[in-house]
C-alpha cells in the first residue's frame, strides 16, 4: 500500500499534457532508423579493431520492440514500466563501473555498449517529442564513437545512411515543434523532391570531405588517455630476453641456443646457414638476423597506424655484424618496466639530445599477429600498452611479454628530433666509450678492403667531405646509384662475407643488403652505425587518416650516431627516399599533401608535372612576397607605409580582375540563352542596377506594370513590350522581332537616372 501511494504521488505518475505527446508515426520510425544505424555503426567500426560483441546487434530488434510499445502506450502513465526502467538503468550503470575497474584501458567501446543498453531501456518510454530527441542524440553519439574507432572505409556507407535518415528527421522534428500536425509532411508543399534531397546530401558530403581535407593538423594532443586494449596479464617468467618470431624455427630465447629451423618447411627460415624466408613474418625481427635466406613474403596487412607525422615504425636494432647477418650482443639484460595497476601509461627511459624535438602521438592497431616486439617511432618516451610490464633493450627496442595478437591496440608518444643538417655537420667526432666499443665492430678479414672501397667512393665527390654527416649522406647516395637490387642470388658459402660479395662480386643484392653494406662501410672509417629493422610508413589512406602497413613494408636501414644529438637514419635502398620519413617543419596541412600524392598515382605524369610546377611557382611567389614584406618592415615607418601602398595597389588590381572575370562569366552565360530570353535577362539586369529589380514572386507582366509607377514612361513602355514578347515566346513559342526588341533594349540602356552608375550587361535568374 505504501509503495502504491508513493508511486501514485511521484512525478512518474503525473499525466503528460496532450500537446507534448508525439503522434507522428513517420517521425518515430525514422528516429528508430537513426538509432539502428548508430548501433550498427559501433559494431561494424569495432570489428577487427577492438573488443566488441556482435551481441550488441540484438539491441536493434529490442529497441524496435520498445519503440512499438511506446507508440501503443504513449497516452498511458506507465508507472510500473518507468519504475522497472529506472531499476534496470541503475543495474546497467553498476555493471559498467564493474567492467571499468576490472578491465581498464580503452573505455570507448565500454561506454558505447552502456549507451546502447540505456537506449534499449529508454525506447520503452518515448511518449513525447523531446524523448525522441534524446534517442536522436544517442544515435548521433554512437555514430561519433564509431567514427573514433573506425579504421577502414566500411564505416562510410553507414555514415551516408545516417545522413540520409537524419535529414528528414530534422525536418519532421522542426514541423512537430511548429505544431503542424503529423499529416502535414505528406503534403506536396512540404515534401522535398528526391532530386533536391540527393543534391543536399551530395553538398553536405562534399563540404565535409573538403573540410576534412583542409583542416589543419596542429601538433599535440590535449588528451592524455590514449587508445589501448584491455589489460593482458604478464607471464610470471617474463624477463624481456625472449623474442618469439614464427619466421624462425626456434626463435632463440632465454637459456636457449639460437633456433635452427627447418629451412624449407612452411617457409620457416634458419638463424644461420642457407634457408627460405617465412611467407608472412619478416626475418629481421629476431635476436639474430640471418641474411643468407632467400625468397619473398606474400603481401598481408599487419597493422594500421594513426600518427601525427609519418615515420619509420622502428622494431629492433642490431649492433654486431656476423658476416652473413646481424645479432644483438647485449640481449641478456634488458630493462624491465612496470606501470601502476590502474594506469595504462608506462614511462620509458630516453637518451638526452641537443636537437629540437617534438612529441608525436601514434596509435597502432594490429590486423595480424606480430612477434613480441613493439613497433614505435624513435625515441618512445610514453607507452600505453595492454600489459602491465614491458622491457626495453640496450638498443632502445621495446619488447612485450606476449605475442602481439590480432585486434590489439596500443599508443605511443615519441620524442622525435628534427633533422637539422647544419647542427649534425657540426656534431664532431668525440664519441663516448660505450658507443665506440659497440658500434665500430668490423670483421678483421674484410676491414682493409671495405675501408679502401669506402674511401674510394668518398674520393669521387666533387667537394672534399670532412664531417661524418656529409660522408654518410654521400655514401648512402653512392650505394643507390652504383649498385643494383638483384632478386636472384645464390646462397652464401660458409666462409663467404655478405659485404665483400656485395661490393666486389655481385655489385648489388637484396634490399636489406644495401643497409648492411652502408653500416659496415661507415664503421670502417670510424663512424658509429647500427642496423635497424622496422616498417616503412605504409600506404596512407586520406579518407580514414590511417597508414596501412603490410609485412612487405618491413626492411632494414642504417642509423648513424652524432655526439650530443643521438641516432639518425639513412636509407641506401634504391627506390626509397635518401632520408627516412620524419618530421617536417609544418605538418598542419600534411593531409592535403598526402591526398595529392595518392591522387597523383592515378593521374598521367604530364598532368602531375604541370600541377606540381604550378604549385611550386605559387609557393615561390608567396615566399618572395613574404620576404619582400619582411624587408619593408625592417625599414621602419617608411617601409610600413610603402607596404600598405603596395598592398592597396594589389588589392585594387585584384578587384578589377574580379570584376572582369564576373563580367566575362555573365557574358558567357548570356551567350548560351535563346535570343529572346537573352534580351529579357539583359533588361532585368539594367533595371536591377537602377534599384528596380524584379521580385521573385512577380510575373514578367506584373513587373512591367510596376515599372510604369517607378520610372519614366519611355523605358517603362519599352520594358512592357519586351516582357510581353518574352511571355509570348516562352509560353506560346511565337517568333519575335529581335531587331525591334534590340532597339527597345538600347533605349532602356541609354536611360540613366541621376546618381546611377552605367548598367552592365549581366545574367540573373530567369523566371520559374
Residue 242: all three cell numbers together? 625472449
Name the pLDDT band for 522 (thresholds 50, 70, 90). very high
Residues 6 or more apart from 732 whose CB is under 8 A from it?
none
**Is cis: bond before 410, omega within 30 of 0?**
no
pLDDT at residue number 571: 95
Residue 88 lies in a domain: yes
Residue 580: all three cell numbers together? 627516412
Residue 764 has pLDDT above 60, yes or no: no
- Per the CB < 8 A criterion, the answer to whether 572 and 549 are in contact is no
Check residues 479 and 583 and name the one with the higher pLDDT.
479
Beta strands in 563-605 (DSSP E): 566-570
- Per the CB < 8 A criterion, the answer to whether 334 and 243 are in contact is no
In this structure, what are the phi and psi dihedrals at residue 305, rounded to the nearest 5 degrees?
-125, 130
Residue 496: all three cell numbers together? 663467404
Please give the residue range of the domain that contains residue 25: 2-214
Residue 341 lies in a domain: no
Which of 214, 243, 263 terminates a domain? The answer is: 214
Residue 709 lies in a domain: yes
Which of 168, 194, 214 terminates a domain? The answer is: 214
Angle CA 590–593–596, to nearest 5: 150
Spatial separation of the C-alpha atoms in residues 527 and 562, rounded to whole Å: 9
Segment 423-479, tens digit of pLDDT: 999 998 999 999 999 999 999 999 999 999 999 999 999 888 989 999 999 999 999
pLDDT at residue number 551: 93
Segment 694-724, tens digit of pLDDT: 888 888 888 888 888 888 888 888 889 998 8
Q: How many domains does the chain have?
A: 2
pLDDT at residue number 17: 66
The one-character DSSP state at 506 is: I
SS3 of 761, please? coil
Which of 185, 214, 243 terminates a domain? The answer is: 214
Say which residue the cell 502506450 belongs to.
Answer: 73
- Per the CB < 8 A criterion, the answer to whether 347 and 392 are in contact is no
Name the pLDDT band for 502 (thresholds 50, 70, 90). very high
Residue 63 lies in a domain: yes
Check residues 623 and 422 and name the one with the higher pLDDT.
422
Tell me which range, 19-33, 231-245, 365-379, is most confidently predicted by mean pLDDT.
Answer: 365-379
**Is cis: bond before 442, omega within 30 of 0?**
no
Residue 146, CA distances (Å) to 141, 187, 342 in order: 9, 36, 25
Name the pLDDT band for 516 (thresholds 50, 70, 90). very high
Spatial separation of the C-alpha atoms in residues 390 and 374, rounded to whole Å: 9
CA gyration radius, the chain: 36
Name the burial class of residue 444, with classes exposed (0-12), middle (13-18) and buried (19+) by CB atoms within 10 angstroms of its CB: exposed
Residue 743 lies in a domain: yes
Chain CA centroid to CA 20, Å: 44
Residue 186, CA distances (Å) to 132, 175, 190 in order: 20, 12, 7
Residue 659 lies in a domain: no
Residue 384 lies in a domain: no
Say which residue the cell 591526398 belongs to.
Answer: 595
Q: What is the mean pLDDT of the chain?
A: 81
pLDDT at residue number 185: 45
Residue 285 lies in a domain: no
Amino acid at each position: 500500500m505504501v509503495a502504491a501511494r508513493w508511486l501514485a504521488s511521484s512525478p512518474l505518475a503525473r499525466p503528460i499534457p496532450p500537446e507534448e505527446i508525439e503522434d507522428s508515426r513517420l517521425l518515430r520510425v525514422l528516429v528508430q532508423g537513426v538509432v539502428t544505424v548508430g548501433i550498427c555503426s559501433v559494431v561494424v567500426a569495432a570489428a577487427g579493431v577492438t573488443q566488441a560483441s556482435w551481441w550488441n546487434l540484438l539491441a536493434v530488434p529490442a529497441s524496435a520492440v520498445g519503440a512499438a510499445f511506446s507508440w501503443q502506450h504513449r497516452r498511458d502513465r506507465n508507472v510500473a514500466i518507468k519504475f522497472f526502467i529506472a531499476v534496470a538503468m541503475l543495474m546497467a550503470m553498476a555493471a559498467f563501473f564493474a567492467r571499468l575497474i576490472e578491465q581498464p584501458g580503452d573505455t570507448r567501446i565500454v561506454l558505447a555498449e552502456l549507451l546502447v543498453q540505456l537506449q534499449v531501456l529508454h525506447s520503452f518510454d518515448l511518449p513525447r517529442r523531446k524523448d525522441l530527441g534524446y534517442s536522436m542524440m544517442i544515435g548521433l553519439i554512437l555514430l561519433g564513437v564509431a567514427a573514433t574507432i573506425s579504421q577502414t572505409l566500411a564505416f562510410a556507407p553507414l555514415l551516408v545512411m545516417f545522413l540520409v535518415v537524419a535529414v528528414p528527421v530534422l525536418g519532421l522534428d522542426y514541423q512537430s515543434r511548429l505544431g503542424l500536425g503529423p499529416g502535414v509532411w505528406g503534403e506536396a508543399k512540404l515534401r522535398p523532391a528526391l532530386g533536391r534531397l540527393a543534391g543536399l546530401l551530395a553538398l553536405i558530403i562534399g563540404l565535409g570531405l573538403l573540410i576534412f581535407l583542409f583542416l589543419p593538423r596542429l601538433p599535440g594532443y590535449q588528451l592524455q588517455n590514449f587508445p589501448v586494449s584491455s589489460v593482458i596479464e604478464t607471464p610470471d617468467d617474463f624477463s624481456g630476453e625472449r623474442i618469439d618470431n614464427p619466421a624462425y624455427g626456434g626463435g632463440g630465447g632465454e637459456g636457449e641456443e639460437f633456433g635452427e629451423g627447418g629451412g624449407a618447411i612452411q617457409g620457416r627460415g634458419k638463424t644461420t646457414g642457407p634457408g627460405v624466408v617465412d611467407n608472412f613474418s619478416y626475418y629481421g625481427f629476431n635476436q639474430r638476423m640471418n641474411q643468407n635466406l632467400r625468397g619473398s613474403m606474400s603481401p598481408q596487412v599487419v597493422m594500421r597506424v594513426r600518427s601525427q607525422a609519418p615515420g619509420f615504425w622502428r622494431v629492433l636494432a642490431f649492433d654486431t655484424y656476423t658476416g652473413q647477418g646481424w645479432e644483438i650482443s647485449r640481449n641478456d639484460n634488458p630493462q624491465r618496466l612496470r606501470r601502476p595497476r590502474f594506469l595504462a601509461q608506462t614511462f620509458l627511459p630516453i637518451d638526452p639530445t641537443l636537437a629540437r624535438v617534438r612529441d608525436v602521438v601514434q596509435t597502432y592497431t594490429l590486423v595480424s599477429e606480430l612477434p613480441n616486439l613493439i613497433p614505435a617511432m624513435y625515441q618512445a618516451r610514453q607507452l600505453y600498452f595492454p600489459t602491465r610490464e614491458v622491457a626495453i633493450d640496450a638498443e632502445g627496442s621495446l619488447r612485450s611479454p606476449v605475442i602481439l595478437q590480432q585486434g590489439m591496440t596500443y599508443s605511443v608518444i615519441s620524442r622525435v628530433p628534427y633533422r637539422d643538417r647544419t647542427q649534425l655537420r657540426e656534431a664532431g667526432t668525440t664519441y663516448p666509450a660505450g658507443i665506440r666499443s659497440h658500434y665500430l665492430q668490423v670483421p678483421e678479414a674484410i676491414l682493409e678492403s671495405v675501408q679502401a672501397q669506402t674511401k674510394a667512393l668518398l674520393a669521387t665527390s666533387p667537394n672534399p667531405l670532412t664531417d661524418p654527416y656529409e660522408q654518410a649522406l654521400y655514401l648512402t647516395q653512392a650505394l643507390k646509384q652504383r649498385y643494383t637490387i638483384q632478386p636472384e642470388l645464390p646462397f652464401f658459402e660458409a666462409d663467404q662475407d655478405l659485404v665483400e660479395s656485395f661490393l666486389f662480386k655481385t655489385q648489388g643484392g637484396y634490399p636489406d643488403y644495401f643497409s648492411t653494406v652502408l653500416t659496415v662501410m661507415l664503421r670502417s672509417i670510424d663512424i658509429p652505425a647500427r642496423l635497424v629493422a622496422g616498417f616503412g610508413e605504409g600506404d596512407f589512406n586520406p579518407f580514414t587518416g590511417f597508414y596501412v602497413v603490410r609485412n612487405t613494408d618491413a626492411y632494414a636501414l642504417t642509423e648513424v650516431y652524432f655526439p650530443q644529438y643521438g641516432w639518425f637514419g639513412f636509407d641506401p635502398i634504391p627506390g626509397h627516399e635518401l632520408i627516412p620519413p620524419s618530421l617536417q617543419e609544418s605538418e598542419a596541412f600534411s593531409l592535403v599533401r598526402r591526398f595529392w600524392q595518392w591522387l597523383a598515382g592515378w593521374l598521367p605524369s604530364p598532368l602531375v608535372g604541370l600541377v606540381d610546377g604550378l604549385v611550386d611557382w605559387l609557393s615561390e611567389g608567396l615566399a618572395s612576397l613574404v620576404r619582400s614584406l619582411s624587408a619593408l618592415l625592417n625599414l621602419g615607418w617608411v617601409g610600413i607605409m610603402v607596404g600598405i601602398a603596395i598592398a592597396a595597389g594589389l588589392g585594387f588590381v585584384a578587384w578589377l580582375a574580379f570584376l572582369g572575370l564576373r563580367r566575362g562569366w555573365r557574358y558567357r552565360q548570356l551567350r548560351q540563352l535563346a535570343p529572346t530570353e537573352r534580351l529579357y535577362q539583359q533588361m532585368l539586369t539594367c533595371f536591377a542596377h537602377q534599384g528596380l529589380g524584379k521580385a521573385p514572386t512577380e510575373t514578367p507582366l506584373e513587373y512591367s506594370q510596376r515599372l510604369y509607377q517607378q520610372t519614366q514612361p519611355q523605358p517603362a513602355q519599352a520594358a512592357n513590350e519586351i516582357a510581353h514578347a518574352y511571355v509570348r515566346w516562352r509560353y506560346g513559342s511565337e517568333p519575335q522581332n529581335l531587331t525591334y526588341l534590340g532597339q527597345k533594349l538600347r533605349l532602356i540602356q541609354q536611360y540613366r537616372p541621376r546618381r546611377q552608375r552605367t548598367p552592365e550587361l549581366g545574367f540573373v535568374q530567369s523566371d520559374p
